[in-house]
Structure 1
Amino acid sequence: MNSLVKRDRSTFADLVDWLESEFPTIPSVRQFAGLQMMRVEDFQDGNEYVVRAELPGIDPDKDIDIQLLDGVLTIKAERREENKDANRSEFRYGSFSRSLTLPSGADENNVRATYKDGILEIRVPLKEEQHPEPRRINVAKD
């Protein structure tokens, strides 16, 4: 699936994605480096632009913030997880942020977001692009 948009990403995030795709048998580069990154996929589904983000262990009511400004969709999330038993405790925490530029024709007033089974899905309707006819401009003589 090819992405429809230009992503606002760091070169390091691209490198991590490449390493994981080229060397799937090695342990996750993210786990090895202790990185907290949000994996995102985007594609067109009919007349909608769809963004899916992997966010397991997140409470969508408290820990996800989605903003849209000037055609840029920004997803922010924070994970706070702590497990305790009689002999030990373990915790994971971190914040994530990804920004994507919406494709032309995006209807920014009708964006919908859902969260199910650790996947955040954002759907943005796409308006049919208008292709106006060329207009002739007359040149005035002095």
Structure 2
Amino acid sequence: MTGKRLALIILGWLSLITGIIGIFLPLLPTTPLVLLAAWCFSKSSERFHAWLIQHKYFGPIVSDWQSDQGIPKKARNRALIFMWAGMTLSMFIVARFWATVGLCVIGIAVSIHLLRMPLRKESNTESSPPSTE
């Protein structure tokens, strides 16, 4: 195993573990860390990359990102709501001017990016009402 491959595997697992911790902590972003782990695994280990893509919870995140078809509108809206809720909470907890400015700049940049991403239709057929036609 080469040093570069080993470093990417370690970085991938650290990113994934940190992303899992980010589910519970408002300042750690889960999705970007899971995507970083997927990239690291794609460059270093087919087995770990396949496992991550097939994972019950993290697989759809990676598949949506890699599909180039966009993200579901519902997922985008949730991401925006939870991101701003977490950032607002963090701004009140930290209560520092520069931290607030930094979080606002990051939040605006991520919001612009999310709002510019293409949207795809929801793939859940169970949630849509039956047709009466």
**TM-score surpassing 0.5?**
no
When Rg is computed on C-alpha atoms for both structures, the one with the higher figure is: 1
Q: Which has the higher strand share?
A: 1
Q: Which has the higher contact order (CA 8 A, sep 6+)?
A: 1
Q: TM-score, normalised by structure 1?
A: 0.27
Q: TM-score, normalised by structure 2?
A: 0.28
Q: Which has the higher helix share?
A: 2
